[in-house]
Amino acid sequence: IDACPMPVRVYIMMQQLVSVKYRSNVINTARMGNSHRRLSNARQRAVQASAVNMDQIKGARGQIRSVLEETYANPIFVRLAWHESGSYSDALKNEPWPAAGGATGSIRFKPELGYGANNGLDSALDLLKPVKEAFPEVTWADLIQLASSEAIEHAGGPHIPLRVGRRDAEGSKDCAPDGRLPAAAGPFPDKAANPAEHLRNVFHRMGLNDQDIVVLSGAHTLGRARPERSGFGKESTKYTKDGPGKPGGSSWTVKWLEFDNRYFVEIKEQRDEDLLVLPTDAALFEDEGFKPFAEKYAVDNDAFCADYVTSHLKLSELGSDWLEGGPVSIDA
């Protein structure tokens, strides 16, 4: 360059600068492209992680059925899901999720799991942990509700076309407050004057109605009350002293692992002192608003099962927030 006239040297230097700048732009563009692709891939992975994986859902359902065959866990799976959903407050539905409570998976965290009404539910979660490990893309919120719907059908009840894709609560900060679940007898925490008033206060707070109260109560056809957990029932009865499963407790029906309308029959007739009748049970036939539904279900198992599906689905979605692609029916 030094041997060339000034105009030529300037021209060559300009060309070299352009060449250097061009190569720099190419390198930067390539780097930006790689960075964009990495970001895009990360976003895709995030979307995939938050999407509903129906293969995993189906696998989890199958494993839950195996657990039910081996453990007689039908009643406690139903109770787990109910106590999770039953924490919902419709008055808080416009607050940031999951302030309203409900089917969020928060029951697996303390303090919620340690509330008095949830005594014994840690054993239900323990049964579901291997299912969660085998199918990690199924959220806890979905898994808990799946276990309940499968438990109903496995016990001879109706098929429940559950919808899945629930988002999971992340920790203790997302737990619902204590005191939102129904009590079985007075004095009631909401100062209700009688069991019917208390049931309405609790279930109407969730956005449910009188028919929902009655038909959902019919799920007590499954299971037993244990005095060491709830404070109600006997240590054992002629129907529970030999199991199946862990012996003891008081059942509402003779065949307490079969889902049908026998709960309403037994509550109405109250003919066997070894069968449990709580004040909130008796109220279904004493309250004028509840009684027509209870009378209907006592004589018509098909009507009970059909209406139960509708109310169970409502309960199962209280407070749910949905992942990418959700909700999706398990029958899809």
- Beta-ladder partners of 324: 51
Distance CA 98, CA 112 (A): 14
Residue 223 exposure: Cα atoms within 13 Å on the Cβ side? 18
Residue 31 exposure: Cα atoms within 13 Å on the Cβ side? 6
Distance CA 170, CA 321 (A): 13
Residue 34 exposure: Cα atoms within 13 Å on the Cβ side? 5
Task: Report helix, strand or coil for 327.
Answer: coil
Q: Give how far Cα 118 sits from Cα of 185, 230, 320, Å.
A: 16, 9, 20
What single string gives the DSSP state of each residue in 156-188?
Answer: T------EE-BPPP-SGGGPPPTT-SPPSSSSP
Phi and psi angles of residue 229, each rounded to the nearest 5 degrees, phi first: -105, -50
Catalytic residue among 83, 154, 198, 220: 83
- Beta-ladder partners of 224: 251
CA 43 distance to own-chain centroid: 28
Q: In which residue are the tokens 């323990």 written?
A: 126
The radius of gyration of the chain from alpha carbons, rounded to an integer in Å, stands at 29
Distance CA 229, CA 231 (A): 6
Q: Where are the beta strands (DSSP E) in 174-309?
A: 224-225, 250-251
Distance CA 49, CA 55 (A): 14
Is 154 a catalytic site residue?
A: no
Kindly state the tokens that stand for 63: 């494993």
Distance CA 7, CA 14 (A): 11
Write out the catalytic residue numbers: 83
